[in-house]
Structure 1
Amino acid sequence: MSIPPTPFGELFRRYREATAFSREELAHKSNVPLGTIKRWDRGKTQTVQNWRYLLQTAVVLKLARGQTNSLLTTAGLPSLELLFQQVLDEKDQALFVSWKSDITHLSGMQQLLNEIPLTVVPPISAPPSGSRIPFAANPHFVGRDDVLMTLAHRFYADAALDLGSRVILAGLGGVGKTSIAVEFVRRYGCYFSGVFWLNFGDAAAIAREVAACGGPGFLELYRSNGDLTLDDQVRLVQNAWEQNIPRLLVFDNCDDPLLVQQWLPMTGGCRVLITSQRQRWPSSFDIPVYRLDILDRSASISLLQGLAPRLLSNEADAIAEELGDLPLALQLAGSYLAEFRWTSSEDYINELRNAMIMAHPSLRGEHENDISTTKHDRDVERTFLMSYRRLDLQNERDRMASAILIRAACFAPGMLIPIELLLTSVNLRPQMMQGQAAIGRLADLGLMIVEDTGVRLHRLVANFAQAVILDVTAQSTVEESLITHVKNISQNGDVSSMKRMLVHLEWVIHRGANRVETAMAQLWFHWGLCLKTIGDFRSAQPAYEHALRLYEITFGDMHPDTATCLNSLAEVYWSMGNFAMAQTHYERALAIEEDLFGRIHATTAKTLNDLGAVAYSLGDSKTACMLCKEALSIFETTLGSIHAATAESLNNLGLFLISMGDYESAYLPSEQAIAIYEQTVGPVHPDMATSLNNRALLMEFVGNYSEAYELYERALAIREQIQGPKHPATAQSFHNLGAFMHTTGKFNRSFYFYERAIEIFTETWGINHPDTATSIGALATLLDSMADYKRARRFAEQALSIRESVLGSRHPDVAISLNCLARILEGLGEYTSAKALYERALVICDETENDSIKAIYLNNLGRTLQSMKDYNAAQRCYEQAVSMLKETLGERHPDVAYGLNNLGLLYQCLGDYKIARSVLEEALSIREATVDPDHPDIATSLRSLAELYQVTEEYTAARVLLERALNIQTTMLGATHPDTHKTKNQLVTCMAALDRGEQME
């Protein structure tokens, strides 16, 4: 096996052969032993010890300074400059005479390259003498300053003359690679010691291009073509390029890595700019690839207006949109409109849309006003066709590439297509090598832009593919793959992925707008699914409604897919606060499912579960629990206990039980839901966040604040990660944390969370939405607690106005706003107005038959009547409230304790201390039995009972209760909470009374 020559040997032999010296002649003239010459020439030598021998041969070969340094470097020796500095002997110094002037001149070259502008683009200037640049600058060149400065930075590279930098400028045909290269050499060429342009489009002609650079007027390495053979001319030019001189070489239109490897200088100071349609290059090249994109829209507009000044900015913008900001197409369109000046921009755009765009005369360069400064083909279709024809459709990989290209053309142009989605459309998995190889082939041809997670196809490439590739199955397979992909990613609630799918769904729907068939119904349905997942329910509603119409036409009224669409539309109505419409659609879906599947079926159970949620939203917790329990039983029977649907019912059941105050019963289903979600959907999923949120609510109600806070935080973190920081679900988590911070007395934090929630809800839904009103109302309640009644009133009135306009004046949520505003008016001392609002809220409760909520409003009304000194009316309200709460929630519910506490304080006010004590003790007993021992509600009861003891002058007993209450409030609410301050003041009063008593004794 032959051993390849060393780099030094290969370079030495090339230099010797270029001068036509035999080994013997060279040994004789240089006084270097023939054996040494032979070893060097045969490539047997790795390093050279005697640098003098090497310089002696370099003198005879008449090597330039750069060539000599190349030999020294590959032989493991110092450069000429370093050797010259070390030499003291006059005889040795004589060896350097041939290069002394070059060494001196080199510092000037170094300084010139050091002065290359890096932060601004210099003006066009004359290139260095001896340069070979076949193209003039384009007077309409725009929008690429960032690229030009990037290249300047790369080629500067600290101006080290023996470390020539290389850059590949890659992009699809027509994106302006050659134009940028021309602009660069016309603006920056003067900072190099020569610029040499080579066209690599014809591999067979490259040698002549290289040789021409050495002829008269350029490097002048020979006098005429007849002096040397082509090979000798090429060698001389290559030798010159390997000198440490900062020249700039342009390898234009080079797509073959082997050609780059063949012609790239092995060493020396040349900078090399390669333009190519190929995006992927061998890693062994270690050459950075700058991927060139289309023009920014502002640059596109400038280019069009520069060519056709009559165009207004909006007209140029519309044309740029139609042409996808591709520079070649824009150049052609602008020059076309300049020539045909009576063609309006609107007519031109219509012509592009109404015909095969590639066939339009403007994009074929068929007008006299267009002249190419780079002498490239001015036909956009032919530009792409040259690349496409390089596919060998007899080859399996290239055949697959063609199939992938036409399917990519069916997606939204210019938008990212996920790899798994694209390859699924040709029945391949992303991991399969043949699919990846085919995509790589398209990237190499400049027909497809490849990114880390997907690919993009320019809109004109897509039009080209649809014009030249005949595949009648492409559109349908893309639609099927798109539907399947959306269905899969929707299960994970991945908002970012769903957002990417929206534009593709909208595109295929737009293209098939007139089709009335099942595929279109499914596309409209999944478009609605995407919109719903990202929280855009307002847009999801018409999408689902259109899908429903198509399902009813194609499948009929009693089809499973019709029922599924009804359910999804109902969910959207529910999310938007239109509970009546939600209930109607769920009931219609339930009727279809019962007819098709029967009552005991998972599909039917899902609708029952959702109907329970609607009943809960309407304030009917009893019906909600009943429907939820039935759904849960069916799920456990049909799907098993470890299933996400089962977890959802358990989660809902826990929430409904919490709303009824049955905290003890709510513990188990909420725990089970979280455990099942952990096993089925995983710890980071929107459903898990909902379950954690409900569990946090339970913990808050029972007074376990530390655990509640951790759960709220976990839920928020999941929603921000999966659904994004601007999703309504994330806003709901902010709202929940705001309510929690309000309860625990951290008013500033509460204010922050409420504002975040309002900001997101307003941005997502608009101001007139129930969710926005809920957070605004909560903010009003917070301001009421902070005694900022003026602002509180403004926000409460705003929330009420929104709910009345959106939900109607008789909606339960309107009653909540009435109650909120009434409490604020009560704080302002406007008792008559507060009384009227409470009474309006009670009327709404009577209509909805929600006794537990009605009892709360009765309690509040009683408090207002008490403040108005209408004690008999207040007593009736309190007693009615307690009676209703006991009947609906049971004798030992925390809300019963709330009513009893108010009633006891009234009896105390009336002077009936015996009954007051009995009632207040009962309230305390219920609270101690139902919530955690450190719950603030227990502190409230302790303080109320202590107040009675103080009235009856039982100060020692009062002190014990107040100290216990203060300990709870300081621990749970903090020392700065208003309730804590009230208890402190009450304790001070009690202690003062005790001191007075002791003094009297």
Structure 2
Amino acid sequence: MPGEQQRKIFISGTSHDLQSYRAAVVQWALAKGHLPVEQSYFEVQPDYLTIVQMLRDKLSPCDAVIHLAGFWYGGEPTNRPDGEHRRSYTQLEYELGRELKRQSFRFIARENYQPDRPLEGQGAELADLQIQHRQRLTLGSEPWSAHSRTTGNELYYEFSTPEELVALLDKLTIHDTTSKPINLPYQSLGSLFKGRDEFLAQLRRVLINKPTHIAAVTGRHAIHGLGGVGKTRAAVEYAWQHKHEYNALLFIKAESAADLERNLAGLCGALVLNLPERDSRELETQIAAAVRWLREHAGWLLIVDNVDTEEAQAAVEQRLAAISTGHVVITSRLTHWEGAVEPLDLDVLPHDAAASFLLERTAGRRQPQPSDPDDAEALANDLDSLALALEQAGAYIVRTGISLAGYRKKWAEQDHRVLEWFNENLMKYPRSVATTWETSLAELSEDARTLLNILSWLAPDPIPRFLLEQLEEIEDAPELDLDASLGDLTTYSLARWQDERTGIEIHRLVQEITRWRLDAEKEPSFLAALRMVNAAIIGNPQDVRTWPIYRVLQPHAAGVTDFAQPFHNPEPTSRILNDLGVYLHTRAEHHSAEPLFRRAQEIDEASYGPDHPEVATDLNNLAELLRATNRLNEAEPLYRRALKINEASYGLDHPKVAIRLNNLAGLLQATNRLSEAEPLYRRALKIDEASYGPDHPEVATDLNNLAELLRATNRLSEAEPLYRRALEIDEASYGPDHPDVATDLNNLAELLQETNRLNEAEPLYRRSLEIDEASYGLDHPAVARDLNNLAGLLRATNRLNEAEPLYRRALKIDEASYGPDHPTMAIRLNNLAGLLRATNRLTEAEPLYRRALQIYEASYGPDHPTVATGLNNLASLLQATNRLSEAEPLYRRALEINEACYGPDHPELATNLNNLAGLLQDTNRLSEAEPLYLRALAILCRFTHETGHRHPNLLVTLENCWSLWEQIQLPMYERREKLVAVGFDPDWLKSP
């Protein structure tokens, strides 16, 4: 392997019998320019979990593991937790290397190898455990060559002598597997980071050693202290100092629960973990992906910065409590934490370290004086040895070339001024920081001071350059030399450049002091900040292509609007709140979006009155969120009020009124009031036809909405011409090969399939697939949808061999598009599992059903209706395989979920009740099954009475009741009484 870069190689093998063989591997590695790593023995005997973490720490920076397996078992850790298999140290080393996804090379000693020491004395039990380990390493092998074999796709080697072992090692190619994600906010200070050695060592001990209340492998830790003490810097310096021991160095801020979730999701990004979910529209999907990565990878460090509120603290503890594969360092001003978190108090710098920092920071760039050492000590004392104040003082001295004594004099002058406005009872920061700020501010140019005033209203997050440049575009903004002003702020350490100077970051204490001191200048600088953010927020917040901008601007939009109320919420506060709310709502961050929508509504009502069209938009946005979060009773009056406002503002026949009608009708349909929804859909259609003409795409949308309702009420003959007309309109508007036409074709084909016209449906499905493949390429999610639908038809026509590859191709496309844990994947898995079940491959179907259920629960939480669907599917398979005791709790949980989501009278519950009753009937619990069948029948009878259309499952449920009554030989008159009691009409048996 000439010319290879140096790799770190962990060498694992028992010392008793393989010491000389291991030494040969060490010499081979050194000769190749690699760095061998060994764990020969443990000086003490720590507990099992501590040993696991110690081995992880040692394996993490390695590129490969060379595992030698002889016949000697060796030592093993004590205090093994319940459920952990019995393993020796060397077996643990090998398995942890595999867990860390390191290259693992297995070398198996043949029976004729010469051990360094005799093998007698370990006992039959230990000898058998080692033989089992050797068998696991070679299970299922086929001969590959005279000296090496494979297990499945993996290679292992056999050796008898050290010389043969070295010859086999020469066959290896070792790659760099330790390229690590790093998103730390700044580089190390190097020698300027002073006075923290003892603290960092203490932090390391807490992260490694198991305290009485936390497993050592979890390694959670909080650094708390007052503002400006250097908590974040200490955490980041720890990360850089131990970089080689971690697989990833990750950094997120968590000033609030929303910040934590947004920044956890941000770890998915291309520049950090680069996960497939990085472009997902669902925040929870991205959070789940980031958390899954943390759970599945060991040896990482995560810094969670500025956890200073109880709300953020609770969110951090909840999100990170179950992750035990890496180290978490929290920086916080809070001192009280749950037992899982070990708080360490970070004090100000030691006095001598603070003085040493000042001398080194300004060396060669200050006016030197013989008294410099004494002046440095005195200045450190003035500054309370606070890291932030020290850095700003050093920057000032370097910028001006003043002496330490000269700076002290200026600082003292400003300290007298600070006393005039500094209130120790109100301030959340030390006076020394305020005085240092005041001293630096006095030297700033007017432009830099104005810019700092404006930026103090933003969030303490990175401020992108493109946001700063908006100042040049907005009306009435101060004219600034932006580059010179930024240069001033960064030179005096009042701001810090980001990498590549793509933006800046300002310490939140600097922002707080600046805002406090603005006095009469507050409103102009605030308005400039507000309008700057407004100018930067461009594009449709529902369009995923705009999300990179919204993601960066979100903290600043939220931050600046938080300050708007004292200024009477000037324009464009409500516009920013609404756009940010729509972005968050589209990403399913409903808890963050809701207060923004409510506040926008309050502002617009106060500004325009309660009956203004802007208020109608606010009401509609909030209603959409309430509907999405299943608060339908709260959403309805808002939809109705928005409709009333638009009718009064625009007249009864305006297209905006049609939008409101469609939204309200959608809610009525969702709450099973189909007879109320239908006239609204029809009225919206009539308005758009009159406004746009009969052949406009908006009309096609209305037709599709109405057709969906007709289809839901089993009026398929009425729905069909609407689907066909919508298709005709879109073909005329967009041409025959447009993706919207493909959607129309799919809708019509589904109706044709439901009415058993499969020969007509199939060419539509195939044409839809052809359009989407031509429009999007072969691997687009729209193509996966088409493949899935076509496969469903093929399955319905018993062409299972043709359907299966389409299902599998759709699954493969969506896995590549969305990642393995996206909700769409669960749909694909369920469909494929259904086909496997239909072909009696139940053992193949079951893990797919279980994986789909797991995805649903992770995506939507444990109580979502989609989870109920997953539970039903799995329970049905368990019932089919006679595992009734396993199926029953799943059926019951599905019923409980849907009842909580839809209420007691929704038709969806009839399916759950039927399924559970069927299982009870199979287990001869007929008295328990009958009331469930009757309740399902009552729900469907009520639906049929209210809509005037017989529910498709009504007769099926009647047949179930009849079957049970036959089984218990219930007299005919009693059957009639029970049917009358639930509202069943015998005439329904005659109708189609």
* TM-score when normalising by structure 2: 0.45
Kindly name which structure, 1 or 2, has the bigger radius of gyration based on alpha carbons: 1
